[in-house]
């Protein structure tokens, strides 16, 4: 007859294993907390104003071009320069260079 011995069962779940499982969970919770507290670097405002200028009508004269424009963007718009064929041209704006929404 042979002696059969039962295999030894080790307790696989030790305190060290518990700590090793807990470290990533704590780090993840810390990162989520930091993300929620600081906004995660998300800036909800547009970094550059959205400019949308619509030309409604134009008139061509011998010495000038008249443009009738409308600001269709979400914010007021200021006309600072006029570029025609990649060249900055002199211009005048009436009644004001700032066009309200």
* pLDDT (tens digit per residue) in 27-63: 999 999 998 888 777 767 767 777 888 999 999 998 8
The gap from C-alpha 66 to its chain's centroid, in whole angstroms, comes to 37
65 lies in some domain: yes
Has residue 89 been placed in a domain? yes
58 found inside a domain: yes
Asked if the structure places residue 92 within a domain, the reply is yes
The secondary structure of 43-94, three-state, reads: CCCCCCCCCCEEEEEEEECCCCEEEEEEECCCCCEECCCEEECCEEECCCCC
**Residues 101, 91 contacting (CB under 8 angstroms):** no
Is the per-residue pLDDT at 1 higher than 60?
A: no
Q: Is residue 78 part of a domain?
A: yes
pTM beyond 0.85:
no
pLDDT digits (tens, 9 = 90+) for 59-99: 999 888 899 999 998 888 888 898 889 999 898 888 888 88
Q: Is residue 66 a part of any domain in this protein?
A: yes
For residue 92, what are the domain limits? 53-99
| The total number of structural domains that make up the chain | 1
């Amino acid at each position: 007859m042979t002696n059969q011995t039962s295999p030894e069962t080790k307790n696989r779940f030790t305190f060290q294993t518990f700590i090793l499982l807990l470290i990533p969970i704590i780090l993840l919770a810390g990162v989520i907390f930091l993300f929620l507290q600081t906004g995660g670097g998300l800036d909800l405002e547009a970094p550059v104003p959205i400019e949308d200028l619509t030309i409604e009508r134009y008139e061509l004269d011998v010495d000038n071009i008249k443009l009738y424009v409308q600001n269709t963007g979400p914010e007021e718009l200021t006309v600072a320069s006029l570029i025609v064929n990649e060249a900055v041209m002199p211009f005048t704006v009436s009644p004001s260079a700032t066009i309200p929404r």
